[in-house]
Amino acid sequence: EVQLVESGGGLVKPGGSLKLSCAASGFTFSNAWMSWVRQAPGKGLEWVGRIKSETDGETTDYAAPVKGRFTISRDDSKNTLYLQMNSLKTEDTAVYYCATVARGSGWISLHYYYYYYMDVWGKGTTVTVSS
Amino acid sequence: DIQMTQSPSSVSASVGDRVTITCRASQGISRWLAWYQQKPGKAPKLLIYAASSLQSGVPSRFSGSGSGTDFTLTISSLQPEDFATYYCQQADSFPLTFGGGTKVEIK
């Protein structure tokens, strides 16, 4: 069974740091692109960032609100994804989900395109930033 | 970044009703759109990708359509388990972005 289990959430003061983990099982983690998505209390979904597989360069991409403060990394030997969060702000309070990034492709008017969506999600871990 | 706008923000409907939710992208995204369902306290669940492709295991009463900037999610006959919040997500390019959500409530 494909499974993602997040951990590491908790209460942290503004300006503090926290590192989240996401343990993967049931699929070949090393081949997967992975994302973090968050949801503030009573709000909608917000994509946080993505890391590609090692074979695709293990490059990262981030949403503007977290760029320069958050870092996504992975340890394929442990089938684990990480989210290092520094300089935390009260507005970072949210449930943080990890998810696999599915990649599709198709032809449109003689051009070949790729598209990306999240097909497997963990249950989430809660981060509260408060003094 | 591509902005996604969903409407309505909420809809009240009865079991058996046909429900349609719309999503508009700030620029053309071909067919590269996904839809998710989220129930309170639970993780989102993928329903549809590439605008109209049904994810495995999702009931056929869910369907998606559209291309370019305008998309729709239709539930042909609302069931009790369908009361939830639905989100669209542009799948065209990073950063991935979501619509604000549509809450389907019991009438």
Residues of chain B contacting A45 with CB distance shorter than 8 Å: 36, 38, 44, 87, 89, 98, 101
Return the DSSP state at B15.
Answer: T
Query: How is residue B88 written in tokens?
Result: 């669209």
Query: How is residue B45 written in tokens?
Result: 């669940």
Nearest residue of A to residue B92, measured between CA atoms: A115
On whether the CB atoms of residues A27 and A2 are closer than 8 A, the answer is yes
Query: How is residue B104 written in tokens?
Result: 């389907």
Residue A68 contacts B where some CB pair is shorter than 8 Å: no
- A53-89: pLDDT as tens digits: 999 999 999 999 999 999 999 999 999 999 999 999 9
- B33-82: pLDDT as tens digits: 999 999 999 999 999 999 999 999 999 999 999 999 999 999 999 999 99
Residue A112 contacts B where some CB pair is shorter than 8 Å: no
Residues B50, A50: C-beta atoms closer than 8 Å:
no
User: What gap in Å lies between CA A52 and CA B87, rounded to an integer?
Assistant: 24
DSSP A20-69: EEEEEESS-GGG-EEEEEEE-TT--EEEEEEE--GGGT--EEE-TTTTTT
